[in-house]
Amino acid sequence: MPDLNKILYVEDEPDIQAIARIALENVGGFNLEVCNSGQDAIAVAPEYLPDLILLDVMMPGMDGPTTLKELRKIDLLKNTPVMFMTAKVQPQEIQQFKSLGAIEVIAKPFDPMKLADTIKKAWANQ
Amino acid sequence: MENPTQSLQQKLLTAIERAQSHYIDDGDSKTLFNGMLSDVLDFTESEYGFIGEIHYKDGNIPYLKTHAITNIAWNDETREFYAANAPSGLEFYNLDSLFGEVIKTGKAVISNDPSNDLRGAGTPEGHPPLKAFLGAPIYRGSQFVGMLGIANRAVGYDDQLLEQLQPLLRTCGSLIAGYRDAYNRQEAENILQKQGEFLRSVLSTINEAILTFDQRGYINSNNPAAEEMFGLSQDKLKTCTLFDLILDLPINFTTHHHDADNQILTKMVEYTGKHSSGHTFPLELAITPLKLDGHQMYTGVGRDISERQQSNRIKNEFISTISHELRTPLTTIEGALKLLADKKVSHLSPDQVTEMLDAAQSSSERLQKLINDILEIQQLEFGDFMFEPELIQVHDFLNQVVRRTLDLALQKGIRLKVDNDDTELYFRIDLKLLLRVMDNLLNNALHYAEPDSEVTLNTEKNGAYARITVTNKGNTIPEEVCDSIFDVFFQVDSGDTRQPGKAGLGLSIAKSIIERHHGQIYVKSTQEEGTRFFFDLPLFIQERLTNENLQIPPALSKVTDTTVRH
């Protein structure tokens, strides 16, 4: 398993983007690229070639699962690990996201001090 | 010279024969007993008489109801009484009389001097003179069923005549009993039929499917709801088994419905029902055992619970959406607080600190707004709010709306075009509530408008209604979404049109408010024309305004229709 360095983060809520950016850059020390929508992510990802894609689930225009499907169509991103971030954390919902191929489902609200650790742990366990 | 006894016997036999054949031919009782009485009067040479049936009232007090009676009415009152009651039978309750003696004892009474007979109580004034009387009990076997009363035989009555009458009296007894049995049977049938009709009509109005079937599931009967539920006619249903209708019915379905102590079968179990068209539906079934003609049968009551499941699903999704909407700002607030509180995050620049504080602040406002929306929609839905309509000129109202919106439009760089020339129109609205609607429609329009485009706001008269329209170019709302966009649960089924920062309650609040004003709200969205939200509100009839300048008469301006709904 290569080291985790580059994360592509897709989130439509600017406030949450701001929190997560500090949590991942300042606290976690990752190299981060943030996209406002699924469409943006599809445009940016093949250039950025992240180690991990962190996807919000509920987004206008294109939601997280649809974005994942589209990303998987791009050869370079076929096997890039994906984690979902969602406030939909009922057990059957988590199961549904995992069945889409996510290696982890991170619940909102998340603790910005622990977010990086959670991601690192899931990365190591995949 | 003919033997009078033989002649009487002959007449008696003829009378009996006539009565019997009448009965056999299903003749009516009235004709039969009238004929019989007339025969008896004839061959006993009596002046008047009756044939009556013994009934009991208050449990065991006997009285007489006539099947046939000579009309002896002697004045208007008795004539009227006879005419009104004789056809259905006159009823006599006086037991202190010569006939009463027969009724009480079941024994014959012969009185050839009635006026001095202690058993009688005389006759009412005007009653034709009673010179001789024979009261003969009528039996059917050992059962006392009626009596024959005849009066005024010139030579009086005796035991010999009574004896001669016996065959006729026995026939009469059989006939009285026969008609009574038939009547009782008819009554019972009527009652049963009525009960049957009642039951059928109850069963036909029940929405649940009701089926009876045997242990192997063969269907025996059903109500109309069952035909509709499974899409099969009654004839088709009778060729089916329960297994044809219910896909996952277990073989041992009768025991499957036992409860824990193996006693009752009425436990509701959920299955999958199958309609003849092929579609399946969730079905809740209760089975109750039933003994029919000694056979073990079962009654099944089935209910299509698709709707219940659907409304549960909607509720669950609503709660899931609301919880998502609550969690999003909470994520920001909690995250910002944690980052700011942690001393280790020393890399936080002053700008980032400001950013965190701003994010927490805006999220907290958003949370506040969301909670207000939820409360408001609940109040509007349950009618638990003050509704204070007042008479307002549509033109003035629109001007107010524009003043409120201009800043936001400038901020967003969108032009606001207003077509609001008609100063003739008035409506009665709750200003606060309707401004709420306009804020929502205009905020949406400004939010979705293409950069550098315009949002138009216009009023027009649409019949008896004022129509207000808000149009923007930019997004297009798919047609199927337009149908449900005002739905309180709308956002649930259309995650990808969700507005950032909004729980999607605004439009359903708008709809509630417009409907509270007896109006209607619509949306039309096309690529060419853009997205148009418009609503119609009833116009105030202008003739009611007295002043030529269309000023509001003082009486009207003071009236505030304040309705508190609970």
Contact: B327, A87; criterion CB under 8 Å: yes
pLDDT at B490: 52
Contacts of B422 (CB under 8 A, 6+ apart): B394, B395, B459, B460, B461
Average pLDDT over every residue of B32-61: 90
Single-letter residue type at B275: H
**pLDDT band at B264, cuts 50/70/90?**
low
The helix or strand, by DSSP H or E, that contains position B372, with its residue range, turns out to be helix B350-381
For residues B114 and B557, which has the higher predicted lDDT (pLDDT)?
B114
Contacts of A48 (CB under 8 A, 6+ apart): A6, A8, A33
Cβ A61 vs Cβ A35: under 8 Å: no
Contact: A61, B496; criterion CB under 8 Å: yes
Number of H helices, E strands in chain B: 16, 20
pLDDT at B528: 86
- Name every chain A residue with its beta carbon within 8 A of the beta carbon of B327: 87, 108-109
Q: What is the pLDDT of residues B181-203, one digit of tens each?
A: 888 888 888 888 888 888 888 87
pLDDT at B543: 54
pLDDT at B372: 84
Single-letter residue type at B566: H
Q: What is the pLDDT of residues B201-213, one digit of tens each?
A: 887 888 889 999 9
Contacts of B349 (CB under 8 A, 6+ apart): none
Looking at the complex, does the CB of residue B356 fall below 8 Å from at least one CB of chain A?
Answer: yes
Determine the residue of chain B that is closest to A67 in CA distance: B496
Of A19, A60, A66, the CB nearest to B332: A19
How far apart (Å, rounded) are the C-alpha atoms in residues B514 and B501? 24
Buried b (16+ CB within 10 A) or exposed e, B234-254: eeebeebebebbbeebeeebb
Cβ A47 vs Cβ B359: under 8 Å: no
Looking at the complex, does the CB of residue B35 fall below 8 Å from at least one CB of chain A?
Answer: no
Contact: A16, B328; criterion CB under 8 Å: yes
Mutate to test the interface with B, among A9, A11, A17, A19 (most CBs of B within 10 A): A19
Tell me the whole-structure pTM to 2 decimals. Answer: 0.49
CA-to-CA dists, residue B355 to B273, B347, B351, angstroms: 58, 14, 6
Single-letter residue type at B6: Q
- Go through the domains of chain B in sequence order and give each one's CATH number: 4-186 (3.30.450.40), 207-304 (3.30.450.20), 316-381 (1.10.287.130), 386-564 (3.30.565.10)
Measured CA angle at B546 (ends B545, B552), to 5 deg: 55
How far apart (Å, rounded) are the C-alpha atoms in residues B415 and B453? 6
Q: Which of residues 103-122 of A touch B (CB under 8 A)?
A: 108-113
Sequence ranges of the domains in chain A: 6-125
Does residue B218 register a pLDDT over 60? yes
**pLDDT band at B156, cuts 50/70/90?**
very high
Contact: B335, A111; criterion CB under 8 Å: yes
pLDDT at B266: 61
Does residue B521 register a pLDDT over 90? yes
Contact: B338, A109; criterion CB under 8 Å: no
pLDDT at B563: 38
Percentage with pLDDT > 70 across chain B: 87
Does residue B63 register a pLDDT over 50? yes
Q: What is the pLDDT of residues B101-136, one digit of tens each?
A: 899 899 999 999 888 887 777 777 778 888 899 999
Average per-residue pLDDT for chain B: 83
Determine the residue of chain B that is closest to A26 in CA distance: B347
Tokens 């004896």 found at: B163
B475: exposed, middle or buried (C-beta count within 10 Å: 0-12, 13-18, 19+)? Answer: middle
Number of H helices, E strands in chain A: 5, 5
Does residue B547 register a pLDDT over 60? no
Per-residue confidence in pLDDT tens, chain A, 126 aa: 678 999 999 998 888 999 999 999 988 999 999 999 999 999 999 999 999 999 998 887 788 999 999 999 999 999 999 999 987 777 777 888 888 888 999 988 889 999 999 999 999 988
Q: Which of residues 48-67 of A touch B (CB under 8 A)?
A: 58-63, 66
For residues B247 and B483, which has the higher predicted lDDT (pLDDT)?
B247
Helix (H, G, I), strand (E, B) or coil at B390: strand
Contacts of B308 (CB under 8 A, 6+ apart): none
- Name every chain B residue with its beta carbon within 8 A of the beta carbon of A23: 335, 339
Nearest one of B414, B420, B418 to B454, comparing CA atoms: B414
CATH code of the region A6-125:
3.40.50.2300
Lowest mean pLDDT across B116-130, B168-182, B482-496: B482-496
CA distance B298 to chain A (A): 39
Bridge partners of B269, per DSSP, are B285
Contacts of B203 (CB under 8 A, 6+ apart): B210, B223, B224
| CA max distance for chain A | 35
Strands B109-111 and B133-140: antiparallel
Q: What is the pLDDT of residues B496-511, one digit of tens each?
A: 334 443 446 788 888 8
Q: In this predicted complex, what is the ipTM?
A: 0.85
Nearest one of B389, B402, B403 to B538, comparing CA atoms: B389
Does residue B53 register a pLDDT over 60? yes
CB pairs under 8 A between A and B: 82
A94: exposed, middle or buried (C-beta count within 10 Å: 0-12, 13-18, 19+)? Answer: middle
CA distance B416 to chain A (A): 26
Q: Which of residues 297-326 of B touch A (CB under 8 A)?
A: 320, 323-324
pLDDT at B158: 93
**pLDDT band at B3, cuts 50/70/90?**
low
